[in-house]
A and B are shown apart, each in its own frame.
Chain A
Amino acid sequence: MLKALKIYRFKGVREFELSDLTDINILIGRNNVGKSSVLEALYLASAAFELEDPLGRGDKITYLLNRRGERGLTWERGKEALWYGYDDSEAIRIELELGRDRIIDIWLRGDHEHPSISLEPGSTEPILFCRHCQMYYHQARWGQAVPLESVMKKAAMDKVVLESMEFFKGMAFIDTTLLRNIKRAEEKLWTPLLMERLDKLVLEVLKTGYNLPIEDLTYAYFGGMVQLVAKLPLTSIRVDDLGDGARYAIVMVMAAALAKNTALLIEEPESHQHPGGLARTLDMLLTLAEKNRTQIFMSTHSIELVRLTEAIGREKGLGVATFFLERDEEGHVDARRIRPSDRQLLADMGLDVRFLDMI
């Protein structure tokens, strides 16, 4: 589990430190304070271990370059969009603490022809990853490709690092862009979900949280192609035609069901959600997080989400931490940890925790 993180020179964040992370971590704060950037930074860090997006969106770095603007940016043309102030002269650095003496330092360098990420896992020799050729190198011997396994052997990468790799490789970034193209996530996730019959969990959430009397989910030919459809008592309906709230819930639950010993990064889970649907989806996400030992990071503007997560987390014995983020003019992001009891005390005093920058 991630205990603490530090981010330098990434997107809108010049510098940011966050500690006391727990099972479920909620990021709140005004617009443009860096909540999404924190999720994106973790996702970028995961690219050091697995370049391909687990939800079918291609390579992670290109996805990060394009997820908002969709302007076809590439590493060669527009990589500086990832850097704070568009200045790629210094590496983006993401330092992640997975436990005592378990720190992984990830660098994204702009001065190479191809994006490369170096891993400096404390006790071992620094390793550089070249995205272009998908090879690992000894940093000191740049140009001499060494297969990962051999580097691992040579540098005696310990168990801790291997566990860390498992943690980062499985990391999924769930955002509302998936609603525009649920097909990719469906293609990636549905079969493995069926193999473990985890589709039942999706069905359960849709039935109980979204007022849909769905009997089953299956594939049907429609418009000359195979599409996922929900079987209702009298008819069937394409998943594409369900409401946005239900579709976002499907993506979240599918990803959470398959994630194990890793982290889920979820941008605004409350998007398009009625509180009833949100409560049911959160309940399932937290159940799966507990079962699969998955850490969750969520950004939100919803006080309902904070309250529901705290309550469900308490029921399930999971730690829930809410962090209020604020950014100064120079890009330094500050986080204040708000305990559930603090939120209630502030509410008693008429202070909405989302406006903590008032005080």
Chain B
Amino acid sequence: MPFLQLKPAEELFLKIARDLMRLDALVLCEGARDAELLKLVAGEPGIRLGITDCGGIREVYEIGRYVAALARLSRRLRSLGVLVNADEYKPVERADGIVRSLREHGIETGDLEPISEDLFRAQVEGRPLIICVAGRMDLPVDGHCIEDHVLMALISAGELELDDVKRLSEELRRVALIRQASPKVDAKDILDVMGLDPVMEVRRLLSSRPGDVRRAFSKLVRLVKELRGTTPR
């Protein structure tokens, strides 16, 4: 069973309208690129898994609103997944922020349990919620996001060195200071300055070095595995 990407809605409309589609689980990502990357790297989900995004909203409180609406309105979803960027926070702080937001929106969540360092489990309206916090804390950047994993895939494939990342980060910070802009650098800025499109790079690497990509994105693969595990087939 392939993923069902809900956006762009216009493209999916015929499929939804013509076939009686029912989803087992749904992953909510911050933005469209996160959803696209998750779809690429996670492989065959084995369940009817929908992927969507909330239009680039980065405030955890706002993401909680979306999850709360899904939790309240869904009858069929056996589990829910959330993929958020760590940004400048620790993964546990990010996951905790989502749970707090859900509670503020009147949703029962239960306790937040760690599955791994950056994967967490809570409950929403009696079904599992798996929170995956994207970003590699070992990369020398200021804000951590899903593009960190693209850099790691390039490093694993031998196309980039960790020192290159460090050097580019420092240069970008210097330029930002000269321009009196924010000196915060993340993997997106580095890929941008290298002229690389993250989605295109992952597509390219998947055809030649799929193992490296899956290792670099292992937490996303694990997210889908957890959702599959909580969904009886």
Contacts and interface: CB of A to CB of B under 8 A. Distances in A.
Say if A and B assemble together.
yes
Interface of A: 324, 326, 334, 336, 338, 341-342, 345-352, 355-359
Given A349-B53, A352-B13, A357-B76, 10 more contacts: A338-B73, A342-B73, A348-B55, A349-B70, A352-B9, A352-B16, A357-B75, A358-B21, A359-B74, A359-B75
Contact of A355 (B16, B26, B54, B65): B16
A348 B66 CA distance: 9
Interface in B26-82: 26, 28, 50, 52-55, 65-66, 69-70, 72-77
Interface of B: 6-9, 12-13, 16-17, 20-23, 26, 28, 50, 52-55, 65-66, 69-70, 72-77
A304 to B, nearest CB: 15
Contacts of A349: 6-7, 28, 52-54, 66, 70
Contact of B70 (A334, A350, A359): A359
Contacts of B22: 357-358
B6 A351 contact: yes
A338 B23 CA distance: 19
A336 B75 contact: yes
Contacts of A351: 6, 9, 52
18 contacts: A334-B75, A336-B75, A348-B55, A349-B6, A349-B7, A349-B53, A349-B54, A350-B8, A350-B9, A351-B6, A351-B9, A357-B22, A357-B76, A358-B23, A359-B26, A359-B50, A359-B73, A359-B76
B29 to A, nearest CB: 10
A247 B70 CA distance: 40
Contacts of B28: 349
Given A342-B69, A351-B52, A358 B9 contact: no
Q: Which of A341, A347, A348, A355 has the most CB of B within 10 A?
A: A348
Contact of B12 (A324, A341, A347, A350): A350
A286 B17 CA distance: 31
B7 A358 contact: no
Given A358-B16, A359-B26, A350 B6 contact: yes
A336 B6 contact: no
A331 B23 CA distance: 22
Nearest to A351: B6
Nearest to A342: B69
Contact of A350 (B7, B21, B77): B7
A357 B7 CA distance: 17
B52 to A, nearest CB: 5
B87 to A, nearest CB: 21
A312 B20 CA distance: 32
Nearest to A356: B73
A345 B55 CA distance: 10
B42 to A, nearest CB: 18
A336 B77 CA distance: 15
A345 B20 CA distance: 22
A336 B6 CA distance: 21
Contacts of A358: 16, 21-23, 50, 76
Nearest to A326: B75
B13 to A, nearest CB: 7
A346 B73 contact: yes
